[in-house]
């Protein structure tokens, strides 16, 4: 039950309640007047939606293209997979039987459009309609089967229009004007007059291999052996297309309906079976979580979620490939710690210190990013860094503070170097300095002030990278000083 406009009403009824004449929308007072022993529970829309998503994931054992159909169903696109299960009738029977084993009373139908299949499942359970025959099959069904609102169904009934053919054979404009466009849109979609996609919850991967078992596998060793064979098949598919996998997913379908998904990523395209299997083993080791096999897995699926062109790399005399060891290390760390925790530093086309570099995934191509006028380079990820001058002191600190820290500085003239400065309550006397290095903000940015950077050394030998913000007499009359990093 749920509260609707201040009154408690039935939001759903099981088969026994429906047989007693109860229906959703009936007030709780009227329902108890009819059947005083009626048992009710509070509605849980969030829990129902989550359960529906889990059922949709379970349905991916039949096809990768699955979408929830709130509030009480989900739709499968079986156009390319029905033959794997002995045809549409056998697939439907298998799905209904499996759902019954999970404790669900399911109704199912097959049709050329998602809307037609949903309507047939509501009013003509078990129907299998060939594409193009939707109008004939839907004609005798009640209008309610289209899933329109109750007030629309009641309004049509007052006009004597109770079946779908009563609406389908009449002009659309009066119905749209009186009842809204939802009725007309649902009808046209069900009849195939307008094309509609199911809106799959997960995109179908470009490469998929799987194993189905008549008897479920029950040990981690069986899962490992199955994964190894699937990795070999996937590698063959990738090799035939000249591509390598960048992201992989292992889906384990348990006989009780639970689905366990493991996703891993590679720093560079790969089609080595051993390397794919290693990534999943490292992921499980990093999670410190053993597979909850339960009653066993009856479907194991390995998919390449994304792939990229992979050309054969030149090998050294010892058979190794340049950079391969580093790539394996990055992949192992990503699988163990999480790919989002492994990053590399990429150069950016900006003179602004905090925008001169950014953190990016190890194998991802860099993309432009407008941050304080900085843009990442589009070329080789290893390129872009200026080569260091041999035996020369660094111009800038290797690491900067997350934010420049304000200091109190005294200079001989407003635009001169600092003679002394106080940072973190400690006074530092300047013994030597180099600079200034003037850095102005990008003209198209329109934010920030010009900075004059100085490399300073105090009397104790400590070296600082400090700057004065704002040109005196032009941008400000009170320049501010900051320390941005430390040398050594």
DSSP string over 343-359: -EEEEBS-SSGGGSEEE
Strands 7-9, 2-4: pairing is antiparallel
Tell me the residue ranges of DSSP E strands in 380-439.
Answer: 400-411, 418-423, 426-439
The rounded distance, in Å, linking the Cα atoms of 119 and 56 is: 18
Question: Given this model, what pLDDT does residue 370 score?
Answer: 43
pTM here is 0.62
Question: Given this model, what pLDDT does residue 84 score?
Answer: 84
The rounded distance, in Å, linking the Cα atoms of 62 and 129 is: 19
Residue 19 φ then ψ, to 5°: -65, -25
Contact 271, 244 (CB under 8 A): yes
**Tokens 């399911």, located at residue:** 106
Residue 207 φ then ψ, to 5°: -135, 130
Contact 467, 452 (CB under 8 A): yes
Which helix (H) or strand (E) segment is 207 a member of?
A: strand 207-217
Question: Given this model, what pLDDT does residue 320 score?
Answer: 52
Q: What is the DSSP letter of 441?
A: -
Provide the sign of the torsion angle of the four alpha carbons 315, 317, 320, 325, taken in this order.
Answer: negative
Question: Given this model, what pLDDT does residue 300 score?
Answer: 93
CA atoms within 13 Å, Cβ hemisphere of 355? 19
Q: What DSSP string describes 315-340?
A: B-TTS-BTTHHHHHHHHHHHHHH-GG
Number of other residues whose CB lies within 10 A of the CB of residue 316 = 9
Residue 306: partners with Cβ closer than 8 Å, 6 or more residues away? 206, 245, 246, 247
Residue 467: partners with Cβ closer than 8 Å, 6 or more residues away? 404, 439, 451, 452, 453, 454, 481, 482, 484
Strands 400-411, 207-217: pairing is unpaired
Mapping DSSP to helix (H, G, I), strand (E, B) and coil, where does residue 35 land? coil
Contact 451, 352 (CB under 8 A): no
> Whole-angstrom distance between the N-terminal and C-terminal Cα of the chain?
69
Question: Given this model, what pLDDT does residue 364 score?
Answer: 59
Question: Given this model, what pLDDT does residue 367 score?
Answer: 46
Mapping DSSP to helix (H, G, I), strand (E, B) and coil, where does residue 9 land? strand
The rounded distance, in Å, linking the Cα atoms of 323 and 238 is: 21
Structure tokens at 51: 């359960």
CATH 3.30.1490.100 fits 207-337, yes or no: yes
The rounded distance, in Å, linking the Cα atoms of 407 and 484 is: 10
The rounded distance, in Å, linking the Cα atoms of 145 and 164 is: 8
Q: How many residues does the chain have?
A: 488
Q: What is the block-wise mean pLDDT of the chain (488 residues), using blocks of 10 residues?
A: 81 84 86 88 88 88 87 87 88 91 89 91 89 90 90 90 91 88 90 78 83 90 92 93 90 89 84 87 67 87 89 54 67 73 79 82 55 45 63 78 92 88 94 91 79 94 94 87 92
Label residues 63-81 b or e (16+ Cβ within 10 Å = b): bbbbbbbeeebbbbbbeee
Residue 471: partners with Cβ closer than 8 Å, 6 or more residues away? 415, 449, 450, 479
Structure tokens at 301: 């699926």
Structure tokens at 258: 């639970």
> Can you give the residue ranges of every domain in the chain?
2-34, 50-190, 207-337, 343-387, 400-487
The rounded distance, in Å, linking the Cα atoms of 42 and 8 is: 10
The number of angstroms, rounded, from the C-alpha of 192 to the middle of its chain's C-alpha atoms is 31
């Amino acid at each position: 039950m749920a509260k609707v406009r201040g009154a408690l009403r039935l939001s759903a009824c099981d088969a026994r309640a429906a047989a007693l004449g109860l229906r959703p929308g009936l007030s709780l007072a009227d329902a108890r007047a009819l059947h005083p022993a009626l048992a009710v529970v509070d509605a849980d829309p969030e829990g129902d939606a989550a359960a529906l998503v889990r059922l949709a994931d379970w349905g991916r054992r039949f096809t990768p293209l699955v979408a929830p159909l709130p509030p009480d169903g989900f739709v499968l696109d079986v156009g390319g997979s029905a033959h794997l299960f002995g045809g549409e009738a056998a697939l439907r029977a298998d799905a209904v039987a499996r759902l019954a084993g999970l404790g669900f009373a399911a109704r199912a139908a097959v049709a050329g459009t998602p809307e037609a299949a949903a309507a047939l499942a509501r009013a003509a359970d078990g129907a299998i309609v060939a594409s193009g025959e939707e109008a004939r099959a839907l004609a005798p069904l009640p209008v309610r089967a289209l899933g329109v609102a109750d007030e629309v169904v009641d309004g049509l009934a007052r006009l004597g229009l109770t079946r779908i053919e009563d609406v389908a054979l009449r002009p659309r404009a009066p119905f749209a004007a009186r009842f809204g466009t939802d009725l007309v849109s649902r009808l046209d979609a069900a009849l195939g007059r307008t094309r509609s996609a199911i809106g799959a919850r997960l995109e179908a991967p470009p490469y998929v291999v799987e194993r189905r078992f008549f008897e479920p596998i029950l040990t981690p060793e069986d899962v490992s052996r199955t994964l190894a064979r699937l990795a070999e098949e996937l590698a063959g598919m990738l090799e035939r297309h000249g591509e390598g996998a960048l992201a992989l997913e292992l889906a384990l379908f348990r006989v009780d309906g639970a689905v366990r998904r493991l996703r891993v990523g590679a720093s560079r395209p790969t089609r080595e079976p051993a390397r794919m299997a290693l990534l999943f083993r490292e992921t499980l080791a990093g999670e410190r979580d053993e597979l909850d096999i339960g009653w066993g897995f009856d479907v194991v699926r390995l998919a390449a979620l994304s792939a990229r062109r992979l050309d054969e790399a030149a090998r050294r005399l010892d058979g190794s490939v340049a950079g391969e060891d580093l790539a394996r290390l990055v992949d192992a760390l990503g699988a163990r710690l999480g790919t989002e925790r492994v990053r590399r530093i990429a150069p950016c086309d900006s003179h602004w210190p905090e925008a001169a570099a950014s953190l990016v995934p190890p194998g991802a191509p860099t993309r432009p990013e407008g941050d304080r006028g900085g843009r990442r380079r589009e070329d080789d990820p290893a390129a872009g860094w200026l080569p260091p001058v041999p035996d020369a002191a660094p111009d800038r600190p290797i690491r900067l503070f997350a934010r420049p820290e304000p200091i109190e500085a005294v200079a001989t003239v407003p635009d001169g170097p600092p003679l002394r400065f106080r940072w973190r309550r400690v006074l530092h006397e300047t013994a030597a300095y180099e600079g200034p290095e003037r850095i102005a903000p990008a003209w198209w940015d329109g934010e920030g002030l010009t900075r004059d950077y100085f490399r300073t050394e105090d009397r104790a030998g400590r070296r600082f990278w400090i700057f004065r913000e704002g040109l005196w007499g032009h941008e400000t009359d009170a320049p501010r000083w900051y320390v941005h990093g430390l040398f050594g």
